[in-house]
Amino acid sequence: MSPTGFSACFMCVRVVKNKMHSLWIALSYTIPTILFIVGAMRLKSPKSARTGMWWIAIGMIIAVGATMALHPNIPWAPTVAVMGVGAGLGILVAKRVKMTAMPQMVAIFNGMGGGAAALVALATLQRSVPLSVFANLIATITLVIGSVSFTGSTIAFLKLQEWLRGPRLGRTVGSAITGCGLLAILVMGFLNIVGRQAPGLGAWIMIVAALEGVMLVLPIGGADMPVVISMLNALTGLAAAATGFLISNNVLIVAGALVGASGTILTQQMSRAMNRSIANILFGSFTQTSGGLGTPGEDGGVMIEASHEDVAMLLMYSRSVIVVPGFGLAASRAQQEVRQLMEKLLAHQVGVRFAIHPVAGRMPGHMNVLLAEANIPYDRLFEMDAINQEFKDADVALVIGANDVTNPAAKNEPTSPLFGMPVLNVDQAKKVIVLKRGKNPGFAGVENPLYTRQNTSMLFGDAKDSLAKLIQAIE
């Protein structure tokens, strides 16, 4: 074989090799993308959801493995060490957290993702290679969104964990600071995009955006926090998608867009279920007046208090009981007692069902998880639309630590701030028993006319205690 022929053959092998290489890249990123989408689709039923999650995890492993294989110049030792520590810490924390603390766990992990996106953007901006205007714009957006998500989620975590209380900062002072920060970000962002690579500008944008995240979430009350976490989750998704544009990686673009879109809709649905707009939640209004509206007993009706024995008797001689669990149940960790009560009643041939409002526990599906943890089978749990017609045939509606979601004023009182919010038709049951910690109005600070109705009896006290006494009385 002549030397030229030999070298030509060698070249053709190289071309094939190159083609193989790009095919590998394409495959190693296409397969994870497909696994992400198909896995996410499997979340539509509790039966398939867990395997769906495994599909997504496998996709993630392939994508990460491929990235490491495609970049042989990654410093292996420190990278693997850092990933090992991160994974170990992640598993440790996620395994040990209580189910009631779930929302803040999602928040803190979400913040980590936002922080990572912001750091990638920061490093890109500081790169000595000049960026195109578009890349600069994307990097700046990623930096801002990621930083807001990082600090916002951290504050959400601290507040839900009750390690931090919101300072009584005046609304005007707060919005003045937020406004100034926003202006500063816009100016610096513009400078960054037009003037390119001004040294240190990226870091300043990051700092101010981080401050904005703090200012945004700090004034928000615990009840609204899940909506905010959902929003921050969507934001981190968008930041991930933007990072994908930055490094031309389709897996990131697809995964980020998926999260951004579904998270945005979820946020909307959650705020709609609370009859609030997202702007209203973020920039405040009637949640701030908690406890200021007086006790329901003051004007008009009187609340009727019942004894544990009365209630136990009533429950035992009912045919069908609908339990309405709310945040109060989650707060006093009374899930096990609820299950025991259910079992006692089932033993007495009493039908027991659970009516779950979309935002019971203030997070869609959170209540289902808490009840499932206590081994209450989910086919006893009914969504609002499925059970609202059933209340009129129920003997007893047992409301445990739920308030606003049972307020009939939302249906027939146009002046109520809750008016229009979908509520459970608890008032249609023959008898209503309300387990409640005290006489104060609920999260929204709105009084509940349900409590002063003729067919309503109140059982005051901690939900866990009250339920334990009820169980005793039944025995």
Active site residue 404: yes
Complex with another protein: residue 68 or 180, whichever CB lies closer: 68
Q: Give the span between the Cα atoms of 134 and 245, in whole angstroms.
A: 10
Closest Cα to residue 107, out of 225, 12, 7, 205?
Answer: 225
Q: How far is the CB of 159 from another protein (least distance, A)?
A: 18
Nearest approach, Cβ of 353 to another protein (angstroms)? Answer: 8
List all residues 6 or more positions away from 298 whose beta carbon is below 8 Å from its beta carbon.
none
Least separation in angstroms between CB 423 and another protein: 15
Closest to another protein by CB, 382 vs 460, is 382
DSSP lists the bridge partners of residue 321 as 352, 396
Sign, CA dihedral 16-18-23-24, equals positive
Pick 57 or 198: Cβ nearer another protein: 57
Report long-range pairs for 130-135 (Cβ below 8 Å, ≥24 apart): 130/196, 130/197, 131/196, 131/197, 133/193, 135/246
Candidates 378, 456, 369; CA nearest to 103 is: 369
Exactly one of 224, 310, 395, 404 is catalytic; which is it?
404
Q: Which lies closer to another protein via its Cβ, residue 106 or residue 450?
A: 106
Contact 301, 449 (CB under 8 A): yes
Nearer to another protein, 226 or 417 (CB): 226
Those residues with Cβ within 8 angstroms of residue 445's Cβ, 6 or more apart along the chain or in another chain: 286, 287, 289, 290, 291, 292, 293
Which among 227, 70, 242, 68 has a CA at the least distance from the CA of 144? 242
In DSSP terms, 356 is beta-bridged to 383
Distance in Å, CB of 25 to another protein, minimum: 12
In the complex, least distance from residue 172 CB atom to another protein, rounded to whole angstroms: 33
CA distances (Å), origin 83, targets 88, 124, 181, 236: 8, 21, 34, 20
Q: Return the number of the residue (22 or 132) whose C-beta is nearest another protein.
A: 132
Backbone dihedral angles phi then psi of residue 435, each to the nearest 5 degrees: -90, 125
Q: How far is the CB of 108 from another protein (least distance, A)?
A: 8
The H-or-E segment that residue 98 falls in is none
| DSSP of 214-279 | HHHHTT--GGGHHHHHHHHHHHHHHHHHHHHHHTT-HHHHHHHHHHHHHHHHHHHHHHHHTT--HH
Phi/psi-derived region of residue 361, left when phi > 0, alpha when psi is between -120 and 50, beta in every other case: left
Smallest distance from another protein to CB 154, Å: 11
- Supply the minimum distance, in Å, between the C-beta of residue 303 and another protein: 31
Question: What kind and span of H or E run contains 399?
Answer: strand 396-400
Select 8 or 23, whichever has its Cβ closest to another protein: 23
Q: Is the CB of 99 or the CB of 314 nearer to another protein? A: 99
Using CA atoms, how far apart are residues 280 and 283, in angstroms rounded to an integer? 5
**Catalytic positions, please?**
404
